[in-house]
Chains A and B, each alone.
Chain A
Amino acid sequence: MSSFENGWALTLIVFLPAVGAAAVLAIPKAQEEAQKWTALLFAGVSFVLSVIVAFQFDYGAADKIQFGPDSTLTWIGAINSNYAIGIDGISLPLLVLSTFMTVLSIIYSWNHWPEPHNPKVFSALILVLATGMAGTFVALDLILFFVFFEVVLLPMYFMIGIWGDRNKVTIPVLGMETEMRLYAAIKFFLFTLFGSAFMLLGFLALYFKSGLETFSMISLSGGGAERGLEGLAVWVFAALFLGFAVKVPMFPFHTWLPDAHTAAPTVGSVLLAAILLKLGTYAFVRIAIPIMPEQSQNWAPVIGILAVVGIIYASLACLAQTDMKRLIAFSSVGHMGFVMLGIATLTDIGINAAIIGMVAHGIITGLLFFLAGSMSHRYHTREMARLGGNQKLLPIMGGILGFTAMASLGLPGLAGFWGEFLSLLAAFNPLDGLSIPLFRTLMVIGAVGTVLAAGYLLWMLQKVNFGEPSDEWLEHEMHDVDGYELAAWVPLLVATLAIGVFPKIVFGATTDAVSEMVRMAFGG
């Protein structure tokens, strides 16, 4: 095996952006071009490597861990934690998605710098974020996973807190007035950290109480660790659930998300929606189900119910929004509801649906946030009531918005359809032993949620795109999409269509891996 396949490829993909961050910080503040090119270079190489990995990946053995180091590389010997990395068919699409979105974010940032500017630090933060995101998808050791999982918090915290929305808000309940960015950043940070603390607790319990004294995901999976926990298992799962559910976010742990999204700068929102939300759902698939199959079965009804409540709840909340970005943010909660419903069925169809749903949501909602950012960049408002007639003023951007909204509502033939439809399909026949009447009820309610989703997206389009533009824009000179925007968006549009028409792009990697994972966890 070449050293490329022997851990080096993944290591480079993960850590090149971090190196890039250091390099960017070393460049003098005035040389902005050099900073941007350096950032693009490191992110770009990381992306290209991930594409090479995707091509070299052995799809015939997608259920096997690949590209990992041959030998055990001890990391923290005292607690038996190793530098264990690798990918299988489940993590591959998400890894590529994360490097892909990073590159596009840097391209988009080329001439879209939120106040207070400072491309140097902002690019460095994007790169640190990239390391955290990619690392989470390749980590096979719980402590390593935890570190990457937490690494993403800080750059995002600073992005929101420094480059975020400076409008004043009054915090409900506390009655305190503050800038949106500050409230949202703190809420995001503390909320997620709160969940993470429990998650870490769960990891530690798995180490000490299962009797296995290992953090290796592979050694822990298969049910042995869970049996070792005995009566504690339910609490350990609860701790993991809390950590993951906050990140997804699942109802009712979602309230950090609309605030964080609304306040974040465009690129922050894009990466938050496209990748950060996937860390939670990925953790359910990668950690919760394989390591704790029995508790997963016990908890599946709860997860399923919360998922579907989230779908309906978020859709209704969307109907009440007047701020375009906040509407898109709430819609994420609904989409992640479909993903979680797929996972809750604990079947291969459902988990496949969940993964393609994650990828599709990353691409589509990422694009929606790009669009919302570019529109508020031009109009200096996100109030939908004021944006009417955008299709007239910015025809290309309006057209892309229309296409993306259609993709977001799950139009068949585009990427969003598969995750939505197939998770409903999976809910019809959940894993043996789960309540069939319950899941079939969830299927019907979830299907009704698709109507509400169509409703809020179409009404958004009507408010934003259609009608005559209001007089206040007549004097403004409006520029339709520029080259950097197109360079960042066209790949997303192509991916939306390509996955919609040929879902094998994702299923080709995931299906075998998911089947094997489900078989390992639940037999049969």
Chain B
Amino acid sequence: MSSLLAFAAPLLLAAEDGAPKEFSDGGVLAEWAWLIPVVPMVAAFAIVFIGKRSPWKGWGLATGSMAFVMIYGAILFISNLNKGITYEGSVAIGEIGTDPYGHTLGLEWGWMVDGLSIMMYLVVGLVGFLVFTYAKGYMEGDIRYTWFFASFALFGGGMLVLVSAPNLIQLIVGWELVGVSSYLLIGHYWEEHENSSAAIKAFLVNKVADVGLFIGAIIISLSVGSFRFTDIMAVIAEGDSQSALARFSFWAGVAIFIGAMGKSAQFPLHVWLPDAMAGPTPVSALMHAATMVTAGVYLIGRLFPFYNTEFFADDTRYIIIIIGTLTLFLTGLLALVANDIKKVLAYSTLSQLGYMVTAMGAGAYTAGLFHLFTHAFFKSLLFLGAGSVIHAVHSNNMSDMGGLRKYMPQTFWTFLIGSLALAGIVPLAGFWSKDEILASIQYAGQNYTTAQGGAELANFVLVVAILGAFVTAFYMTRAVSLTFFGEYKGHGHPHESPKIMTYPLIALAGFSVVAGWINIPGVIKWFTEALEARFLAPGDHHPEAINFGLAAIGTVAAVAGIAIGYFIWFADRETQKERDKFRIPVLYPLLEHKYYIDDFYMDGIVRPLRGPVARAVDWFNGHIIDLVINGTGWLAVRIARVTYWVDQRGVDGVFNASAAATGGTGGLVRLLQTGRIQQYVFLIVAGTVVLVAGFIIF
């Protein structure tokens, strides 16, 4: 299998293009970067305790901490472009023992400053700051306003703990912290049973995936003898096919990827993300679109050399690319039938995460992360736009919207920019990153040795990805037209949102236009260069020039999606009858029931476990195990009673009526009430002594 991806090995020799880049350890800037996760974390705790008395009831602390991260991230990003930074700092927090190879395993907190983490600091800080700002308007008057910002800041802190992690343990800590803040925020309106159920679903699906992450992390760290990424990379750099890590790499690779599938909501573990839309919209924008759900992609990126080096987990990339492709296509289709505007965007997020994972599977590290970067802007823009609309019409359903273009011009224009960026229309952000993914898949197809079908797979994936681009444009056209065009179908008089909400929209719209321009093949390579600062070069391939043919095909697919969408949703707007024409038998019910996957999980796993299986275990506990216990007790009492009777007869020689009465009606309970426990204790001790005597004598 590994021969199939043999192209990977030479790629380890750093990036192919350009002059050697200068590197540095980042100096003071990197040494103090531990503040990046710590500041939002401290802010979160501070809000819990003094939030109601702090400026703007906690919003100030939360948003201030994100502003700090944004500025720090931007400074690091720029200095990293100038001179690549690779820095790792750590604090020891205890040793746990020695592995069989004699490595002492130590636990550490630390912070990593390199191209990948700096990019994430910038995204989390920038998008986070804008979303937090927006949330001040959106959450105004919320019953748990301060608590909301405490949880939101906890998310910021957790995400930064995750991306700054220099070792697998800290990564897991951050991973679960964002999980728990996600749980808290999805269930923010926990008065409704449905919302707390959605929160639990998100947590549990992720917990299932975490079994993979835990096992993968255990295998990798025990094979290497260290939790540190730098030590893991050092083993990979040696490239020894006989090393412990190499021998376990397939299972470790699969297990880690299962973890990534949970957080990044890959098929078939994607089911939690649509339900997660129960949370307030800013949460959906920042966590369930821009940052948290990309943690899985980030994780693969962090371990990319492991997935991209011969003898290691390169043979699991088949699985990654197949899962990614399934996700991007199947969930994209689901966006076509949703009525809830946030669900449309959620399915769209799933589909885009599928693109990112597919890119990672194709060995396109930069392309995958570039899409993560651009997607963060336009998808958070779309969510915030949807939030602005929901704020105005007090409904999530597109059937209650329509014609909002006239009432909410700023929301409309920014939403349109976001939609076009998502659809991949030149020259907006999504075009550049999606095009780079397509080019990378094509490259992988051309360079896989054909013997085992790798090329066919890559070509198939390429076709699906292009089809996916069509579907993307199609469902976004539907969403835009149902929401902003036609007649208003809701109640009341919708009006534009306040400035505190529209300004972040405008800022994000700006980024959705320009974010792609920092990585134009053959022209500007800032993003690629920024990511080159790594302890071990990822060894991927970057296209040298724009592939005009592929760009054209991608664009045609997107335009076709918009055109057909226009034909259906604009030209013959919104009569139920017309829409029904497109309800294709078999396919439509399948989509409406979300491929029956949720039903299978609930009826096939969760309900049986919580119901019959759990009750059976409980019954077994009370009736089978305790049968032995209580039966023994019963027997002991009977024997004791007989003994007592014999004793009384023997000693007194007369039938003692009172003793019989006591014995006759007594039971276990009597032991306590009559104080006869001493007798039984004595019996047991005496029995023991007899046994011991037996031991000693014989």
A503 contact set on B, CB distance < 8 A = 93-94, 107
Please, which residues of chain B bring their CB within 8 A of the CB of A421? 172, 214
Does A161 count as interface, using CB distance less than 8 angstroms? yes
**Min distance, Cβ A461 to any Cβ of chain B, angstroms:** 8
Q: Cβ of B177 and Cβ of A413 under 8 Å apart? A: yes
Q: Say if the beta carbon of B457 comes within 8 Å of chain A.
A: no
Q: How far, in whole Å, are A141 and B35 apart by their CA atoms in the complex?
A: 51
User: Contacts A209-B695, A466-B196, A467-B196 given: A161-B668 contact, CB under 8 Å?
Assistant: no
Chain A residues whose CB sits within 8 angstroms of the CB of B507 once the complex forms: none
A183 at the interface (CB under 8 A from B): yes
Residues of A contacting B626 with CB < 8 Å?
Answer: 172-173, 255
A164 CB to nearest B CB, Å: 11
A339 lies within 8 A of chain B by Cβ: no
Residues of A within 8 A of B618 (CB): 316-317, 320-321
Contact B191 A193 (CB under 8 A): no
Residues in B with CB closer than 8 Å to A187 are: 629, 633
A-B interface contact total, Cβ < 8 Å: 209
Asked if residues B630 and A172 are in contact (CB atoms below 8 Å), the reply is yes
Kindly list chain B residues whose C-beta atoms are within 8 Å of the C-beta of A426.
97
Check: B207 CB closer than 8 A to any chain A CB. Answer: yes
Query: CA A428 – CA B685 in complex, angstroms?
Result: 42
Residues of chain B within 8 A (CB-CB) of A217 are none
With both chains docked as a complex, state the minimum distance between the C-beta of B199 and any C-beta of chain A, in angstroms: 8
User: Which of A31-39, A296-304, A508-516 is found at the contact surface with chain B?
Assistant: A508-516
Assuming the contacts A319-B614, A443-B215, asked whether A201 and B630 have C-beta atoms less than 8 A apart, the reply is: no
The B-contacting residues of A in range 174-200, CB under 8 angstroms, are: 174, 176, 178, 182-183, 185-187, 189-191, 193-194, 197, 200
Interface string of A363-406 (1 = CB under 8 A from B): 00000000000000000000000000101100000000000001
In the bound complex, how far is the Cα of B672 from the Cα of A92, in angstroms? 37
Q: Does A45 contact B (CB under 8 A)?
A: no
A428-B219 contact given A447-B214, A465-B190, CB 8 Å threshold: yes
CB neighbours (8 Å) of B208 from chain A are 451
Contacts A171-B630, A443-B218, A514-B97; A319 near B668 (Cβ below 8 A) = no
Q: Judge if A454 is at the interface, Cβ distance under 8 Å.
A: yes
Q: How far is the CA of A173 from the CA of B637 in the complex (A)?
A: 14
**Chain B 289-327 against A: per-residue CB contact (8 Å), 1 yes, 0 no?**
000000000000000000000000000000000000000
Chain A contact residues: helix, strand, loop or mixed: helix
Whether B203 is near chain A, meaning CB under 8 Å from some CB there, is yes
Q: Mark A320-338, 1 if CB is under 8 A from B, else 0.
A: 1100000000000000000
Q: How far is the CB of A493 from chain B (nearest CB, A)?
A: 12
Distance, CA A514 to CA B104, complexed state (A): 14
- Can you name the residue of chain B whose Cβ is closest to the Cβ of A511? B95
**Contact A316 B177, CB 8 Å, known A193-B681, A508-B94:** no
With the chains together, A421 CA to B107 CA distance in Å?
12
A321 to B614, CA, bound (A): 9
Q: Is B684 an interface residue (CB 8 A)?
A: yes
B613 within 8 A of A: yes
Q: Is the CB of A190 within 8 A of B695?
A: no
On whether the beta carbons of B211 and A451 are closer than 8 Å, the reply is yes
Of the candidate stretches B53-61, B430-438, B542-550, B686-694, the one touching chain A is B686-694
A507 touches B668 (CB 8 A): no
User: Does any Cβ of B come within 8 Å of A211's Cβ?
Assistant: no
| A412 lies within 8 A of B172 (CB) | yes
Encoded as 1 (CB less than 8 Å from any A CB) or 0, chain B from 346 to 373 comes to: 0000000000000000000000000000
Contact with A along B642-671 (1 / 0, CB 8 A): 000000000000000000000000011101
Given A201-B695, A447-B215, A448-B211, A320 and B615 contact (CB-CB distance below 8 Å): yes
A462–B197 touching, CB < 8 Å: yes
CA distance A462 to B688 in the complex (A): 49
- Is A228 part of the binding interface, using a Cβ–Cβ cutoff of 8 Å? no
Q: How far is it, in angstroms, between the C-alpha of A506 and the C-alpha of B95 when the chains are bound?
A: 10
Instruction: Quote the shortest CB–CB distance from B515 to chain A (angstroms).
Output: 32
| A174 with B630, Cβ < 8 A, contacts A201-B691, A319-B609, A349-B105 known | yes
Given A451-B211, A462-B200, also A171-B218 (CB < 8 A)? no
Q: Is B19 an interface residue (CB 8 A)?
A: no
Interface size on A, residues (CB 8 A): 82
A161, A191, A412, most chain B CB atoms within 10 A: A412
* B625 interfacial by beta-carbon distance below 8 Å: yes
Report yes or no: A422 in contact with B190, Cβ–Cβ below 8 A: no
A444 touches B215 (CB 8 A): yes
CA of A406 to CA of B191, assembled, Å: 20
B166 to chain A, nearest CB (A): 16
Q: Pick from B109, B187, B668: contact of A178, CB below 8 A.
A: B668
Q: Smallest distance from the beta carbon of A336 to chain B beta carbons, Å?
A: 16
Of the candidates B173, B219, B629, the one whose C-beta lies within 8 Å of that of A412 is B173
* Closest CB in chain B relative to A312 CB, distance in Å: 9
Chain A residue nearest to B170 (CB atoms) is A412
When the two chains form their complex, are residues A413 and B634 in contact, meaning their CB atoms are under 8 A apart?
A: no
Q: Answer whether A316 and B671 are a contact pair too, CB < 8 Å, given A193-B681, A204-B692, A348-B97.
A: no
Measured CA separation A41–B687 after assembly (Å): 41
B688 near A201 with CB under 8 A, answer yes
**A187 CA to B636 CA in the complex, in Å?**
13
Contact among A186, A255, A417 for B621, CB-based, below 8 A = A255
The answer to whether B695 touches A208 (Cβ under 8 A) is yes
Residue A502 interfacial (CB < 8 Å): yes
Judge whether B587 is part of the interface by a CB distance below 8 angstroms. no
Asked whether any CB of chain A lies closer than 8 Å to the CB of B28, the reply is: no
Q: Does B514 touch A at the CB level, under 8 Å?
A: no
How far does the alpha carbon of A507 sit from the alpha carbon of B169 in the complex, in Å? 16
Q: Which residue of B lies closest to A350 (CB)?
A: B97
* B96 contacts A by Cβ under 8 Å: yes
With known contacts A171-B630, A348-B97, A454-B207, A466–B684 Cβ distance under 8 A: no
| A-contact 0/1 string along B45-57, CB 8 Å cutoff | 0000000000000
Distance in Å from the Cβ of A492 to the closest Cβ of chain B?
17
Please pick, from A320, A391, A462, A515, the residue contacting B617 in the complex, using a CB distance under 8 A.
A320
B505 at the interface (CB under 8 A from A): no
A194 CA / B196 CA spacing, docked (Å): 45
Cross-chain contact B218 with A428 (CB below 8 angstroms): yes
Kindly state the separation between the CA atoms of A68 and B575 in the bound complex, as whole angstroms: 88
Contacts of B630 in A (CB 8 A): 171-174
Is A468's beta carbon under 8 Å from chain B?
yes
Please give the distance in Å from A520's CB to the nearest CB on chain B. Answer: 15
Q: Is the CB of B100 within 8 A of A353?
A: no
Q: How far is the CB of B207 from chain A (nearest CB, A)?
A: 5
Residues of B within 8 A of A201 (CB): 688, 691-692, 695
Q: Which residue of A lies closest to B693 (CB)?
A: A204
Q: Using a CB-CB cutoff of 8 Å, which residues 170-222 of chain B contact chain A?
A: 172-173, 175-177, 180, 183, 187, 190-191, 193, 196-197, 200, 203-204, 207-208, 210-211, 214-215, 218-219, 221-222
| Pairs A-B, 7 closest by C-beta atoms | A507-B94, A348-B97, A319-B614, A504-B94, A320-B614, A320-B618, A349-B97
B residues adjacent to A (C-beta < 8 A): 92-100, 105, 107, 109, 169, 172-173, 175-177, 180, 183, 187, 190-191, 193, 196-197, 200, 203-204, 207-208, 210-211, 214-215, 218-219, 221-222, 609-610, 613-615, 617-618, 621-623, 625-627, 629-631, 633-634, 667-669, 671-673, 677, 680-681, 684-685, 687-688, 691-692, 695-696
A178-B667, A320-B618, A502-B93 provided; 11 other pairs, C-beta below 8 A?
A: A178-B669, A182-B669, A186-B668, A186-B672, A255-B625, A319-B610, A348-B97, A349-B105, A444-B211, A450-B210, A503-B93
The contact sample of 10 A-B pairs, CB cut-off 8 A, is A173-B623, A176-B669, A197-B687, A317-B618, A319-B609, A320-B615, A424-B218, A444-B215, A506-B94, A507-B96
Q: Which residues of chain A have a CB within 8 Å of any CB of chain B?
A: 161, 171-174, 176, 178, 182-183, 185-187, 189-191, 193-194, 197, 200-201, 204-205, 208-209, 252, 255-256, 258, 313, 316-321, 347-349, 352-353, 389, 391-392, 406, 411-413, 417, 421-422, 424-426, 428-429, 432, 443-444, 447-448, 450-452, 454-455, 458-459, 462, 465-468, 501-504, 506-508, 511, 514-515
